[in-house]
Every structure is written in C-alpha cells, then in structure tokens.
Amino acid sequence: MLVRTNVNGERRETDVWPGSSLLYLLREHLGLPGSKNACEQGECGSCSVWLDGELVCSCLVLAAQANEREVRTVEGLAAGEAMHPVQEAFVETGAVQCGFCTPGFVVAVADLLEQVPEAPEAVVREALSGNLCRCTGYEKILEAVRLASDRMRIREDEL
C-alpha cells in the first residue's frame, strides 16, 4: 500500500507491506537508519521519533498510520553541518559507549528539553525511563542532559 508522509520536512511516498511498522518504512524504504531496530515491542526506545510532534516508538506505529502525518527523526535534528545542542552534549560528555541506544536517547532528550528546558533530575530520569542503554552508561547521559539544558537556555537568552 502507498503511504505518503512528510519526513524531516520532505514529502515521501512509499509502497509498503500493510503490516509494516513506521520504523521499517524509515529504515528499509527511506534509508534512514538512525532510528534503531531492537526490541520491537516499545521497551527500549531506540526507535524513538516524533509523529506529529509527539515522541513515539516508531516500531509501534503502523506505517499506514503515519499516512499524511509529519515524522521527524534523529536525522532531522542537525541543521546541515551544525549539530543539535543535545547531539553536541552527547559527544562532549562521552555519553556514548556502543552507540546503539544513542539516537533514541538524543531524540528523547531533545523532546524533554523542548517541553521542560530546566528539568530536575527526577523528571529527566522519568522522561528517559523508556530508553534503555545496555552498556549501563546512564551517568554520562544524565551529564549530557544537564550540559544540553544549560547550553540551550544560554542560546535562548542570546536570541
């Protein structure tokens, strides 16, 4: 079946098997492998994307449900060569071990900081409860959130 979506600002038309997930559409049809395929049951968060501005697990969205909707993936975060502040913060704090969970975390953190720019740690932990890192590198990830939060607020003030 034909699915028309707007992915990272671009109109895309894809012919998918009706049982496909949005994750499969993104990775296998559109060549956007940033969203990772791991648990396929909404436990790990490594496939996190925005669907009409809402943070979702793309493995649990039927591709057809994204028809005529807007999808934003981790690939849409950087502005050209300039990384998103959350991406910068992950690099600078070394919040990456094997890197598999990273895109999902980056998307979830960006979503959180868009809604709550100054999130206390308890709120951060709650917001990231649906993203798993099996290298157990959470401490650095929390550090990255703090750094990104500070930077984003400073940039906000400069505007």
Chain residues that interact with other proteins, rule: CB under 8 A:
18-19, 21, 40-43, 45, 48, 54-57, 59-62, 64-65, 108, 111, 126-127, 129-131
Residues near 84 by beta carbon (within 8 Å), at least 6 away in sequence: 77, 78, 106, 110
Nearer to other proteins, 33 or 130 (CB): 130
Nearer to other proteins, 92 or 114 (CB): 114
> Please, what is the minimum distance in Å from the beta carbon of residue 75 to other proteins?
18
Enumerate helices (H) and strands (E) in the chain, giving the number of each: 5, 5
CB–CB of 26/7 below 8 Å? yes
| Angle, helix 102-115 to helix 85-93, in steps of 10 degrees | 130
> Please, what is the minimum distance in Å from the beta carbon of residue 111 to other proteins?
8
Nearer to other proteins, 43 or 92 (CB): 43
